[in-house]
Structure 1
Amino acid sequence: MNFFDRLLLGLYSLSMVILFVVVGLVAAGWTTPLDLLEFALFKQDQRIAVGLVAIVFILISLKFLINSFGTKNEVMHALIKESAMGQVRITVQALENIVKKSVLQVRGIREVQPRIISRPEGIGVFIHVIVAPDLAIPQVSDEIQEKVKENLERIAGVNVHAVKVLVENIATDMKVRDRVN
């Protein structure tokens, strides 16, 4: 869902919440909104404005309804190779698993959360890690970047544009599980 659709959905949802709060208050006996609605529909200009607002809400509702039946449920993938025989694709989840395996080979890594972004110039890899307290973060980050780039290019055949590492936290326990290559 793009930014415009998210913004539209947010505004639509907020409007629906306000509308149903007012409907609930009217059902509980509050009569002021009914008086305002009667006043809004009394004059021709005001009826046109209310009608236009209703049409906008109907169109937004139809857009969301049509989008809900769309065929955009296909698995996200990255194009690896195209030949006369066809295309070879690999899922983002498979790429993330390669990243996890690569990062966990680095000594002192506790947790890994990768995210893959496919771009025309290659894939971007964003990695959140939790490391052991006794590690030098610059050296560990360099090692992670090298291993991830090397393994993705070797195993999956993808062009790696960038590997960014965020050390999200330092583990508080002193037990360091060394990973074996």
Structure 2
Amino acid sequence: MRPLVPSSPRRDEGEVPARLPLTDRVLVLVSGLVVMAAGFASLGMGLFGWDVPAALSRWMSERAVQGRVVGAAAGAALALLGAAALRPAFVRLGYERSIVRATGLGEVHVSLRAIQTLARRAAAQVQGIRDVEVDVYPAGGGDVSVRVAVMVAPDHSIPELCDEVQARIEQYLRQTAGVSCSQIRVLVRGVAREPHRPRSE
């Protein structure tokens, strides 16, 4: 196995797109729909003379109790939505999910996203490996568990490729991030197609 030399980072290599949590995505979606509906109502009032408040007031007065219940429920829902939308402004920012190493001068936090990028880069350096996807999970004690899904090139020994992927990831993470792997699972998703080469006459 060739010695592993950390390569210089590239902006477009191994970047992991950030994802909002599901609850925040739902909150953004609902807030956007409410604001959009209010915008269309205001636009209609300005351009076409819609009297939305009068229509709502008339509907509520015609239905008395039902109208008041619906109005109260809508007001409560909007109040809760506004309070939820303000929540991020009052939440103290902290570290993202990370592995913590204690040193003589304090703590060092290495994010799981950074470890994932390093592991992907190490696996991609193995000759015969294609389309690398990596997931990293904390394993306790400062270690991580790594799951690697790859495509392999034809005419390569799959067991040897998997062994080299595991060895390179373990060595690379230890050298560059000071992180040990408790487990590295490799999933071979398939065999990649080689580009078609025209036959020589």
Confirm or deny a common fold (TM above 0.5): yes
- DSSP-derived class of the 1:134 partner: coil
2:182 to 133, 156, 161: 161
Please say if 1:37 is aligned against 2:74. no
Correspondent of 1:145 among 166, 183, 192: 166
Q: How does 1:87-126 map to 2 (within 5 A)?
A: 87-120=107-140, 122-126=143-147
Normalised to the residue count of structure 1, the TM-score between the two structures is 0.64
Structure-2 change in CA distance of 1:151 and 1:40 (3 Å): same
Q: 1-side partners of 2:55 and 2:166: how far apart?
A: 63
The unaligned stretches of length 5 or more in structure 1 are 176-181
Quote the Cα distance in structure 2 between the aligned partners of 1:4 and 1:93.
Answer: 21
Encode CA deviations 1:48-88: one digit per residue, 9 max, x unaligned: 43123222222212322331575547565421x21452112
1:67 to 63, 67, 88: 88
* Cα 1:39–1:74 shift into 2, 3 Å: same
On the 8 A contact 1:132/1:174 being kept in 2, the answer is no
CA distance in 2, matches of 1:119, 1:64: 34
Percent identity between matched residues is 22
Q: Read off the aligned partner of 1:89 and give its amino acid letter.
A: H
The corresponding residue for 1:179 is none
Residues 121-173 of structure 1 show CA distances to partners (whole Å, capped at 9, x for unaligned) of 53232334332122343442343223323432454332323323344553322
Q: Contact between 1:124 and 1:161, CA under 8 Å: does it hold in 2?
A: yes
Which residue does the alignment assign to 2:105? 85
Asked if 1:23 corresponds to 2:44, the answer is no
Kindly indicate whether the alpha-carbon contact (under 8 Å) linking 1:40 and 1:50 is maintained by their aligned counterparts in 2.
no
Aligned residues: 173
CA distance in 2, matches of 1:119, 1:137: 27
Runs of 5+ unmatched residues, structure 2: 1-19, 197-201
Higher alpha-carbon deviation: 20-29 or 143-152: 20-29
Structure 1 range deviating more: 69-78 or 105-114? 69-78
When normalised by structure 2's length, the TM-score is 0.59
Q: 1:170 to 1:67 in 2, by over 3 A?
A: same
Alpha-carbon separation, structure 1, partners of 2:157 and 2:41: 60
Aligned CA RMSD, in angstroms, stands at 3.9
